[in-house]
Amino acid sequence: MISNRDGLAEKVYMLGILQQKYVVARLKVLQLNSLQARSLSYISIHPGTIQRELADYLGKKQATVTNILKGLEERKLVYREIPRSNERQKNLFLTAEGEQLVRQVNIIFEQLDQKVRNGLTELEQEQLEVNLAKAKQNFD
């Protein structure tokens, strides 16, 4: 029988914790938490998105997202525009400073990806991707 500490799920979990620590430490240097970074990245990929879509993506309540956005607006990283077609809706966009910060966040995740890939051959990387996708299907 495999003990909990020796199980594959435990190893995947521990790797996730190490990745989280790596990302959190680097985001802290940028004065961001993970929700702020994910929000900026989402807005970067979906300029003009609305708050509800961001909340759905983050899996957070509207009030939480409102607070996240207020902080990002205060730092002049995002701004809201009210479209003429719907005055109740506000579209979200990044400022130039926000776009610059997203580039720095992306570098952190590129470096994280490289850390995971280091020491693995190209074939091992491909196999890992296939195996992780298979394991994920058990949760879908």
5-19 pLDDT tens trace: 679 999 999 999 999
Q: Total structural domains in the chain?
A: 1
Residue for token pair 């992780």: 132
Residue 43 included in any domain: yes
Q: Is 124 exposed, middle or buried (0-12, 13-18, 19+ CB in 10 A)?
A: exposed
CATH number, domain containing residue 129: 1.10.10.10
Residue 106 included in any domain: yes
Can you read off the two tokens belonging to residue 137?
């299907």
What pLDDT score does 2 carry?
54
Can you read off the two tokens belonging to residue 121?
């051959």
* pTM greater than 0.85: no
Range of the domain at 124: 34-137
What pLDDT score does 23 carry?
96
Cβ-Cβ contacts under 8 Å for 42 (sequence gap 6 or more):
49, 54, 57, 58
Encode pLDDT of 99-111 as tens digits.
999 999 999 999 9
Encode pLDDT of 13-60 as tens digits.
999 999 999 999 999 999 999 999 999 999 999 999 999 999 999 999
Residue 25 included in any domain: no
Residue 12 included in any domain: no
Residue type, 46: H
Residue 29 included in any domain: no
Instruction: Give the 3-state secondary structure of residue 139.
Output: coil
